[in-house]
Structure 1
């Protein structure tokens, strides 16, 4: 395995830890909009609840793609 992959895993782990600490320490209120975007499907009826976060997951996918593109671009 390449040392570059190890560095990538460490950076991703630190990033996730920082995001988790931010949310845990009260910064999560800044993310209340996430999961309530136009395009997120929510159906609530008595005895039934369905939620499909299409727009939120598209946003997450775009963000991860951008991060991976930057890692590849800066790594070479």
Structure 2
């Protein structure tokens, strides 16, 4: 398998992990949501932090395995 093939597989696994985390957690406490009339605003700050930590751990482990 070429180096580019491994990169695409890794990107696919990362997207799967992000999708699983997103579906498990959805809206976490700390996510900002605001609704007034026809306007709604949602900023998933805690979800972003959790995804960032998980991705950092995944990349750390992958880096140590090489």
SS of 1:50's equivalent?
Answer: strand
Normalised to the residue count of structure 1, the TM-score between the two structures is 0.63
* 1:33 is aligned to 2:7: no
Aligned-pair RMSD on alpha carbons? 2.6
Q: Which runs of 4+ in 1 moved over 4 A?
A: none
- Structure 1: segments with no counterpart, 5+ residues: none
Give the drift of 1:16: 4.9
Q: Normalising to structure 2: TM-score of the pair?
A: 0.71
* Residues 74/7 of structure 1: CA separation in 2 closer, same or farther (3 Å cut): farther
Number of paired residues?
61
